[in-house]
Amino acid sequence: MTQLSEETASNRGLSRAEVDERVAAGKVNDLPDRSGRSVADIVRANVFTRINAILGVLFAIVASTGSLINGLFGLLIIANSGIGIIQEIRAKRTLDKLAIVGQTEPMVRRDGQVVALPPNQVVLDDIIEIGAGDQVVVDGEVIEALALDVDESLLTGEADPIDKAPGDPILSGSFVVAGSGAYRATKVGAEAYAAQLASEASKFTLVSSELRSGIDQILKVITWLLIPAGVLTIVNQLFISENGIRASLLGMVAALVPMVPEGLVLMTSIAFAVGVVRLGQRQCLVNELPAIEGLARVNVVCADKTGTLTENGMRLSEIRSVADDPQPDLDDVLASLAAHDPRPNASMLALAEAHPTPPAWSVSAVEPFTSAKKWSGMSFRDSAGHDVGNWLIGAPDVLLDPNSEPAAMADELGATGLRVLLLSRTDVPVDTEPAPGAVAPGSAVPVALVVLEQRVRPDARDTLEYFASQRVDVKVISGDNATSVGAVAASLGLGSAETSVDARSLPTDQRELAEVIDNGVTFGRVRPDQKRSMVKALQSVGDTVAMTGDGVNDVLALKDADIGVAMGSGSSAARSVAQIVLLDNKFATLPYVVGEGRRVIGNIERVSNLFLTKTVYAVLLALFVGLGGLFGELFGYGSLSYPFQPIHVTISAWFTIGIPAFILSLAPNNERARSGFVRRVLSQAVPNGIIVGLCAFVTYVIVNPGGAGVEIGSKDAVDLSPVQTQAATATLITLIAVALYVLAVVARPYTWWKVVLIAVSAAAYVIIFAWPWTQHMFKLDSSNMQMLSVAFISAAVGIVAVEAVSRVVPRIAARRTDREMA
């Protein structure tokens, strides 16, 4: 029965004046932005970065020499910051808009009426009504309780629901698993526990990401490499080659700038932000950005049947009597059960639709439905106060003797995909504690089978076929009858009713459980704690698991899965713990979500190869030239100045990395992501970088004219001599030609637009090196055919070496993977 505290039994909620008074006093449940960062924070985070700081210092050094054309790379600071800011603000606005659409609106009493309000409009002392599936939005004190059970496992780790009575405290972040009630808000805004959870769970951030942590590791190593490379270069330029301070500084900057993977962080941010916007266009709310990366790694999807494969709505098909004795009008019983349920589920809504006119009965006892016990019940009295029965409705395979005729009939109906409930009558009030070993109170007598039709989602089959084509296993996990679950899945080409597993027979040992789940496809009669155990068992054998669901019974599994996906129409508790919410309630949206994750991660890995190849060859070239100049001076072979000016390394990156990387980062990519990002990228980038750097150095050694390299008496005392310019041009041609082939390898497999991209990039460099205006602008001279011949031969050798590496490294990696799996 409903329990009321004496002081609030007739509470009508706050008046308009009382609400205004609390708003004026700041006692409002103000919540942080969904994205977690203001526009100012976004601007600050994109401007003040490690990359921008390095480039800024190098630009200041170039500016001090007076050769501003060599400071063209400084535009990267503006590009990195500007594009990052624009994309992140765009993604923030998308998130904020979707968050409003998918926002949980608590039911609040105001002036005697119950209204749905956004959480940020709840004020101190508001009376908030709650029922099964609702999440508690602010801390409070219970004032009404109707068999109210609250799960606080998300806060305390305590698995068992806690019965709440008037006067008990209730914490935000917990959720109702059974019953209904109301509570008064005692802590709102930043003081409430929910605000602390939201600030940690919903930030626009890329934390807990293998991708981001890998990139950060690489950047830290590069930062330390800059110091010795810079010192060696400036010593060689200033003291060995005797180029003068300004020329030496330009040589140092030219050596250091290509070491900085300036676009890598930018491309990562853009890829994630564009992913958020694209998913937002499909009504998909990303609560946590790492979910995009996680989706790319998913190889098992655990899907709840109801609300995922089937639509939430049901229709009453028939009522089959199984009672031996005459019973009251069953239409009246079913109508009363549906009418007096304060929080009806899909089954009760179907009964209410079929029997909209209940008799004038009152409820004398009630027992709410829970996923653990699989039944609910009510005891009724008529208008004269006479008992008209204690009625239970729930799962036939729980309430019936499995060897009975009604049980066989229920199994037969369930095997066709229908949902079957048993209506029983018991001899004691339904809220009586069942006897030890019993599942229901008193002596329950079966009365009728209530048969419901479930509507299969029209897009479910195509979705399952997509996952099969992508080698993603789908496990259907449901609290419904195992045979019924198997039949529904079989109608979609997944498993069969005969092989469906009844979760009541599942082993408790995690290893054995993982084996059963791996071999099975559909599972019925799964308790909420079992869903959680099944997810953990799959994770224990190395699977990356996505869990989809919409009910309160899915919350624990959604939370523990690598990626939790909730339906927008699901319970507020499910939506709050999921990383991704499908606001359109379409299971068919999930392939697009997975595809977007794969696009983001696959493309970032692809372009990372380009950026890190440049870093490797820049470091090696600086070391080769520095050490070559040092040993040349010691052994009398002549000095060896750094071949390039900053403008040279700037243009070398335009069409080998910058523009192609941006386009490739937004391209389609359906390859499933794997762990080991850093190792995999470096296994390609390091050998490619060595090849590019070595070929460029060999070219330079052969064509190097010796001497300081600076034209004495030039206007700025920073220009290269004509012969040195020709040598630099030849070396640059070798470097760009081999780097272009690295781009061609990274772009595989080819499509028409990739071929066009590579062709346009090559053509752009032909123009830059052949057109007199661009030669003058970028300090190039390609008139020395002897040097160019050396450049072309070195480039050809480098291209062959890159092709060989592209064929050998994947085979070595595959053998290593096979050994690890063995």
Run of H or E residues at 686: helix 677-703
Q: Strand (E) positions, 243-385?
A: 284-286, 300-303, 310-321, 362-367, 375-381
Q: Which residues contact 753 (CB under 8 A, 6 or more apart)?
A: none
Q: Which candidate, 453, 444, 304, places its Cα nearest to that of 375?
A: 444
Q: Which residues contact 328 (CB under 8 A, 6 or more apart)?
A: 388, 389
Which alpha helices (DSSP H) does 747-784 contain, by range? 752-770, 772-777
- β-strand pairing of 362-367 with 375-381: antiparallel
* Cα–Cα distance measured from residue 353 to residue 356, given in angstroms and rounded to the nearest whole number: 6
* 3 state SS for 45-64: HHHCCHHHHHHHHHHHHHHH
Place of tokens 């401007």: 47
Backbone angles phi, psi at 284, to 5 degrees: -120, 120
Q: Residue 402 CB: number of other CB atoms within 10 A?
A: 10
* Cα–Cα distance measured from residue 324 to residue 330, given in angstroms and rounded to the nearest whole number: 14
* Cα–Cα distance measured from residue 243 to residue 291, given in angstroms and rounded to the nearest whole number: 53
* Cα–Cα distance measured from residue 708 to residue 711, given in angstroms and rounded to the nearest whole number: 8
What is the residue type of 670? N
Between the CA atoms of 618, 620, 621 and 625, what dihedral angle is there, to the nearest 10 degrees? 140
Max CA distance (Å), the chain: 118
* Cα–Cα distance measured from residue 347 to residue 338, given in angstroms and rounded to the nearest whole number: 9
* Complete edge-to-edge strand list for the sheet that includes strand 580-582: 284-286, 580-582, 563-567, 545-549, 300-303, 473-477, 522-524, 501-502
Q: Residue 190 CB: number of other CB atoms within 10 A?
A: 12
Tokens representing 391 are 């009625």
CB 616 within 8 A of CB 689: yes
In whole angstroms, how far apart are CA 411 and each of 294, 483, 484, 485? 39, 7, 8, 11
CB 615 within 8 A of CB 262: no
- β-strand pairing of 473-477 with 300-303: parallel
Q: Which candidate, 721, 703, 723, 720, places its Cα nearest to that of 792?
A: 703
* Cα–Cα distance measured from residue 313 to residue 392, given in angstroms and rounded to the nearest whole number: 22
111 catalytic per annotation: no
CB 523 within 8 A of CB 501: yes
What is the full DSSP assignment across 413-429? HHTTT-EEEEEEEESS-
Q: Which residues contact 325 (CB under 8 A, 6 or more apart)?
A: none
* Cα–Cα distance measured from residue 527 to residue 796, given in angstroms and rounded to the nearest whole number: 65
In whole angstroms, how far apart are CA 696 and each of 211, 287, 380, 467, 784? 31, 47, 90, 46, 17
Q: Which candidate, 576, 750, 735, places its Cα nearest to that of 657?
A: 735
* CB-count exposure of residue 237 (10 Å: 0-12, 13-18, 19+): buried
- In the set 134, 304, 543, 719, the catalytic residue is 304
Tokens representing 344 are 């009806």
Q: Which residues form the catalytic set?
A: 304
